[in-house]
């Protein structure tokens, strides 16, 4: 059994199923993907899509790239052609145009959005192997393996499912907060899990959709930085080939708290886009937000900023509950921690560990 149908859990479940093991994947949300969310707005054509969750992978991340290739998902580079904008109204100056060196390693996106990976992985599982809208509230050790207590649709009606092994692919802090274990997890493991912040836990992503990528025609990359906000950074969100045009950005936490109501917050965001990219940017066809801090399956109340955190504590490579419980998730991987690369690596590591424990023959286990 696998708990959590984000990219890590889907990767683990697919690997187990492909090896010939019976697997059931349980997800509290009503859709797969976890912190991956690809929006397909109505009225913009079949090729219009935008990522409101995890968006990029990088050219030096081989595992997620290999997964995409195996699933037939193509990639394309993040648009960086043209000048960027730096804006700090508090300094009393107008937005400044700058030339930036392209990043290395390069940022890449998936054709169709990152959600395509999750949908194609899910489609390869048995029809009865995916349980959506089902929360796991407890996991206990028993003679034959483990018993997993679930609450379907959050209605409080508990049911039990038995399994030989279980992979928990849920952010560690949220596991500690929401799942009871019998016997209890070791204190040192609980301390590690509690000290592991959830990637994207407080992220608030905004998207403005336009009829055309007018900034590209003006020689701009769509990239902007603003310490004043409300958007602290902005990026080109156009699909491959530019068929659907958009700009996305991260909203600063200060502005979310200052203007918690969407209708009050949106005008300030659009005004900023107009200041950065011209009047046309202040009048999008559509404007949407994805507030991950308001998602109980993501937000752990710990703020993160800057570079990826030191994820992948060695404790997550060790099984629990007498070798019956294994860990997966982007935060449990030392390589690519917090990113889709880390999610894929952790899912494959967990699956290999289960297969080895189940006696499926020689299995190479990635320890971190």
Is residue 320 in some structural domain?
Answer: yes
Distances (CA, A) of 201 to 34, 225, 322: 12, 21, 31
Is residue 289 in some structural domain?
Answer: no
> What DSSP character marks residue 12?
H
Bridge partners (DSSP) listed for residue 207: 248, 288
Minimum mean pLDDT among 189-193, 211-215, 254-258: which range? 254-258
Helix/strand/coil for 295: coil
What is the reported pLDDT for 199?
A: 92
Q: What is d(CA 73, CA 127) in angstroms, rounded to the nearest whole number?
A: 22
pLDDT by residue (tens digit) across 77-97?
999 999 999 998 777 778 899
Which is higher by pLDDT, 50 or 157?
50
Map 96-109 to HEC letters: EEECCCCCCCCEEE
pLDDT, average across residues 218-237: 94
Domains contained in the chain, number: 1
Minimum mean pLDDT among 63-72, 120-129, 358-367: which range? 358-367
Residue 164 has pLDDT above 50, yes or no: yes
Nearest by Cα to 349 from 321, 326, 323, 325: 326
Residue 259 has pLDDT above 70, yes or no: no
- On whether the CB atoms of residues 330 and 351 are closer than 8 A, the answer is no
Is residue 314 in some structural domain?
Answer: yes
Residue 165 has pLDDT above 90, yes or no: yes
Q: Alpha helices, DSSP H only, in the chain?
A: 7-18, 62-71, 115-123, 172-178, 187-194, 214-217, 253-258, 262-277, 340-357
CATH code (residue 179): 3.50.50.60
Map 63-86 to HEC letters: HHHHHHHHHCCCEEECCCCCEEEE
Is residue 256 in some structural domain?
Answer: no
| DSSP one-letter string for 231-283 | EEEEEE-PPGGGSSEEEEEEEPHHHHHH--SHHHHHHHHHHHHHHHH-GGGGS
Q: What is d(CA 35, CA 123) in angstroms, rounded to the nearest whole number?
A: 18
Q: What is d(CA 134, CA 154) in angstroms, rounded to the nearest whole number?
A: 7
Is residue 142 in some structural domain?
Answer: yes
Is residue 123 in some structural domain?
Answer: yes
pTM over cut 0.85: yes
Rg of the chain (C-alpha set) = 21
Is residue 219 in some structural domain?
Answer: no
What is the reported pLDDT for 366?
A: 47
What is the reported pLDDT for 215?
A: 97
Helix axes 62-71, 115-123, angle to 10 degrees: 60
- On whether the CB atoms of residues 328 and 201 are closer than 8 A, the answer is no
Is residue 300 in some structural domain?
Answer: no
User: How does residue 256 score in pLDDT terms, banded at 50, 70 and 90?
Assistant: low
What is the reported pLDDT for 309?
A: 73
pLDDT by residue (tens digit) across 281-312?
999 999 999 999 889 999 887 766 556 678 99
Nearest by Cα to 87 from 256, 297, 257, 231: 231
For 173, the domain range is 1-36+114-200+308-368
What is the reported pLDDT for 367?
A: 36
Phi-psi bin for 135: left (phi > 0), alpha (psi -120 to 50), beta?
Answer: beta
Q: What's the CA angle centered on 38, arms 285 and 48, to 5 degrees? A: 45
């Amino acid at each position: 059994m696998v708990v959590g149908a984000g990219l890590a859990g889907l990767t683990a479940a697919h690997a187990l199923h492909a090896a010939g093991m019976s697997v059931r994947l349980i997800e509290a949300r009503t859709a797969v993907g976890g912190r991956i969310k690809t929006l397909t707005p109505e009225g913009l054509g079949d090729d219009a899509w935008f990522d409101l969750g995890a968006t990029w992978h990088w050219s030096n991340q081989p595992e997620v790239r290999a997964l995409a290739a195996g699933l037939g998902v193509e990639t394309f580079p993040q648009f960086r052609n043209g000048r960027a904008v730096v804006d700090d109204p508090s300094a009393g100056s107008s937005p400044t145009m700058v030339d930036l060196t392209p990043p290395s390693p390069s940022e890449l996106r998936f054709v169709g959005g990152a959600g395509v990976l999750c949908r194609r992985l899910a489609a390869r599982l048995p029809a009865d192997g995916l349980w959506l809208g089902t929360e796991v509230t407890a996991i206990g050790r028993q003679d034959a393996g483990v018993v997993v207590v679930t609450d379907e649709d959050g209605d409080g009606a508990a049911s039990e499912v038995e399994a030989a092994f279980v992979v928990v692919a849920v952010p560690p802090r949220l596991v500690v907060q929401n799942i009871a274990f019998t016997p209890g997890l070791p204190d040192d493991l609980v301390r590690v899990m509690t000290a592991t912040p959830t990637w994207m836990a407080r992220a608030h992503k905004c998207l403005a959709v336009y009829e055309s990528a007018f900034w590209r025609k003006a020689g701009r990359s769509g990239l902007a930085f603003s310490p004043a906000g409300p958007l602290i950074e902005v990026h080109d969100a156009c699909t491959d080939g530019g068929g659907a045009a958009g700009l996305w950005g991260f909203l600063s936490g200060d502005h979310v708290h200052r203007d918690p109501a969407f209708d009050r917050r949106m005008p300030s965001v659009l005004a900023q886009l107009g200041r950065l990219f011209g009047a046309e940017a202040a009048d999008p066809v559509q404007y949407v937000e994805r507030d991950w801090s308001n998602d109980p399956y993501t937000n752990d109340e710990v703020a993160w900023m800057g570079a990826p955190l030191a994820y992948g504590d060695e404790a997550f490579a060790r099984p629990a509950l007498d070798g019956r419980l294994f860990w997966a998730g982007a935060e449990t991987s030392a390589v690519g921690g917090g990113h889709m690369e880390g999610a894929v690596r952790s899912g494959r590591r967990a699956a290999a560990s289960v297969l080895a424990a189940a006696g499926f023959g020689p299995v190479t286990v990635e320890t971190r």
